[in-house]
A and B are shown apart, each in its own frame.
Chain A
Amino acid sequence: MMTNQGNRVTQGQFSFLPDLTDAQITAQIKYALGRGWALSVEYTDDPHPRNTYWEMFGNPMFDLKDPAGILMEVNNCRKTYPNHYIRVIAFSAVRGVESVTMSYIVNRPKKEPGFGLVRQEIGGRMIRYSIHSYATDKPEGERY
Chain B
Amino acid sequence: MNDTNNSDSTTVLADDAPVNLEAEFEASNVKEVLDKLDRELIGLKPVKTRIREIAALLLVDRLRKQFALTSETPTLHMNFTGNPGTGKTTVALRMAEILHRLGYVREGHLVSVTRDDLVGQYIGHTAPKTKEVIKKAMGGVLFIDEAYYLYKPENERDYGAESIEILLQVMENNRDDLVVILAGYKDRMDKFFHSNPGMRSRIAHHIDFPDYSADELLHIAKLMLATQNYRFSPDAEKAFFEYITLRMKLAHFANARSVRNALDRARLRQANRLFANASKALSKTDLMTIEAEDILASRVFIEGKLDSEPESGQ
Enumerate chain A interface residues (CB-CB to B < 8 A).
58-59, 61, 63-66, 68-70, 72-73
Contact = CB atoms under 8 A, between A and B. Distances in A.
Given A58-B128, A59-B128, A68 B177 contact: yes
B132 A72 contact: no
B136 interface: yes
Contacts of B135: 61, 64, 69-70, 72-73
A63 B178 CA distance: 16
Contacts of B176: 68
Majority SS at the chain A contact face: mixed
B150 interface: no
Majority SS at the chain B contact face: loop
Given A59-B128, A72-B135, A65 B140 contact: yes
B109 A65 contact: yes
Contacts of A64: 135-136, 138
Nearest to A70: B135
Q: How large is the interface on B (under 10, 10 to 19, 20 to 34, 35 or more residues)?
A: 10 to 19
Nearest to B133: A69
Interface in B108-136: 109, 128, 131-132, 134-136
Nearest to B106: A66
B128 A66 contact: no
B139 A65 contact: yes
The 4 A-B pairs at the shortest CB distance, nearest first, are namely: A66-B139, A69-B135, A68-B177, A69-B138
Contacts of B139: 65-66, 68
Given A66-B106, A66-B107, 12 more contacts: A58-B128, A59-B128, A61-B135, A65-B138, A65-B140, A66-B138, A68-B177, A69-B134, A69-B135, A69-B138, A69-B177, A70-B135
A65 B128 CA distance: 18
5 contacts: A58-B131, A64-B135, A68-B176, A69-B177, A72-B138
Contacts of A65: 107, 109, 136, 138-140
B56 to A, nearest CB: 26
B128 A69 contact: no
Interface in B156-188: 174, 176-178
A71 to B, nearest CB: 9
B136 A68 contact: no
Nearest to B109: A65
Contacts of B106: 66
B132 A66 contact: no
Given A65-B107, A65-B109, A66-B177, A59 B132 contact: yes
Nearest to B107: A65
Contacts of A69: 134-136, 138, 177
A23 B134 CA distance: 21
B174 A68 contact: yes
A74 B16 CA distance: 44
